[in-house]
Amino acid sequence: MHRMKMYEHYSLKALNTFGVAVQARYFCSLRTLGGLKSVMLWRREHPELPVLFLGGGSNMLFIADFPGLVVQVGLEERRLLAEDKDFVYVRAGAGENWHEFVRWTIAQGYAGLENLSLIPGTVGAAPLQNIGAYGVELKDHFYELDALDWRTAELRKFSLEDCAFAYRDSHFKSVEPGRWLIAAVTFRLPKQASWKTNYAGVSEQLAGKTLDARTISAAIISLRQSKLPDPAVIGNAGSFFKNPLVSAAKFAALKANYPNCPGWVQGDQVKLSAGWLIDQGGWKGKRVGDAGTYEQHALVLVNHGQASGAEIWQFAQRIMAAVQEQFGVSLEPEPNLIGG
Ligand SMILES: Cc1cc2nc3c(=O)[nH]c(=O)nc-3n(C[C@H](O)[C@H](O)[C@H](O)COP(=O)(O)OP(=O)(O)OC[C@H]3O[C@@H](n4cnc5c(N)ncnc54)[C@H](O)[C@@H]3O)c2cc1C
């Protein structure tokens, strides 16, 4: 059996995009499913310890050291699985870098994932919060995934329905967090592409251009680079809060006081802009110690250098309290809060 190298008191500073200096009590890196057997044997001897699956660490805020085992999922694989008249089916291992995978699909001539270009992280974590950007969500092109039950080592397939995808949410995030290790994801990409370019900013970037997946991807990359801080330069996890959903009556009441308040109807609810709400309190570019908001985008919390996860979380809670007080709206963090 493949023996897994187990590290103790392992620094996670370089493995989370906030760049907070925390440690894992135990740490291992999983490169093959074969290696999993040895991790599960080890785990049987330490049943009391919590386990955390780690991809690129771009959607987590570590509030404290992690007292258990961190398993970095590095399973790599990319291939065309099948095709029919209308679709190609491509499969990617959980450890594949998301953006590299998107680039690969485009290079193969497959369309569908171009609007999701440049989202940091891994393929395996992408279903957790049903990643989305510029009018497209992972669920729009998802076919199925393979996941391993961490308690029994059973390998199971999850269909689109099983995953219960919703806005920045899934079965794996809110119903059974930590139970399933996602090993590989299969996408169903259309042979006849239909582009989604009517999103603010995207249509302007593409005006006058002939549309194809490569061109749209380039426009999305340039938009993202102009708006979002690069975690390699300044620690962050992208948008820190979800856009809140409120009732139509609540939205009408907000509009009466704040005529410019943006909102998008979603069924019988209205989605507000978390960024707009935060901006109204003058939070853009604010800073307490090394924790702050990005100067171009109040929705993005940043670590200017030495902030701890607890300090960033305290800062986030101040924003949440201010928005609650001014608008009576609750903000919910988007990244996974670990520890504390
Ligand atoms: C600059 C920036 C921009 C961003 N923009 C967007 C955006 O536009 N849209 C968007 O949706 N998100 C965005 N994000 C958030 C982030 O990129 C995504 O959530 C991404 O999918 C996280 O991937 P990861 O591998 O880094 O996950 P991690 O942070 O490593 O993990 C996230 C969660 O998934 C779990 N997990 C990880 N791997 C597995 C696995 N194999 N099996 C089971 N559970 C697993 C972890 O335990 C954790 O709960 C952005 C982040 C940054 C830093």
Mean pLDDT computed over 323-328: 98
DSSP run (H or E) holding 153? none
Q: What is the pLDDT of residues 44-80, one digit of tens each?
A: 899 999 999 999 999 999 999 999 999 999 999 999 9
60 Cα nearest atom in ligand 1? 29
* Predicted local distance difference test score (pLDDT) of residue 37: 82
* Residue 317 clears pLDDT 70, i.e. is over it: yes
Point out the least confidently predicted range of 26-40, 43-57, 109-123, 218-232.
Answer: 26-40
Domain residue spans of the chain = 7-73, 78-227, 235-338
* Residue 1 clears pLDDT 60, i.e. is over it: no
Residue 309 main-chain phi, psi, to 5 deg: -60, -40
Residue 103 main-chain phi, psi, to 5 deg: -60, -40
Residue reference for tokens 């497959």: 110
Residue 109's Cβ-side half-sphere holds a number of Cα atoms within 13 Å equal to 4
114 has catalytic annotation: no
Cβ pair 93, 121 in contact under 8 A? no
- Fold (CATH) for 7-73: 3.30.43
168 Cα nearest atom in ligand 1? 11
Q: Which of the following is catalytic: 58, 217, 239, 308?
A: 239
Among 58, 179, 236, say which to mutate for ligand 1: greatest number of ligand atoms within 8 Å of CB.
Answer: 58
Question: Which token pair is 158?
Answer: 């999850």
Core vs surface per residue 13-32: b (16+ CB within 10 A) or e: eebbbbbbbbbbbbbbbbbe
Give the 3-state secondary structure of residue 73: strand
Q: What is the pLDDT of residues 91-140, one digit of tens each?
A: 999 999 999 999 999 999 999 999 999 999 999 999 999 999 999 999 99
- Fold (CATH) for 235-338: 3.90.78
Residue 335 main-chain phi, psi, to 5 deg: -70, 160
* Residue 283 clears pLDDT 60, i.e. is over it: yes
Class of the CATH-defined domain 78-227: alpha beta
* Predicted local distance difference test score (pLDDT) of residue 110: 96
Q: What is the pLDDT of residues 204-216, one digit of tens each?
A: 999 999 999 999 9
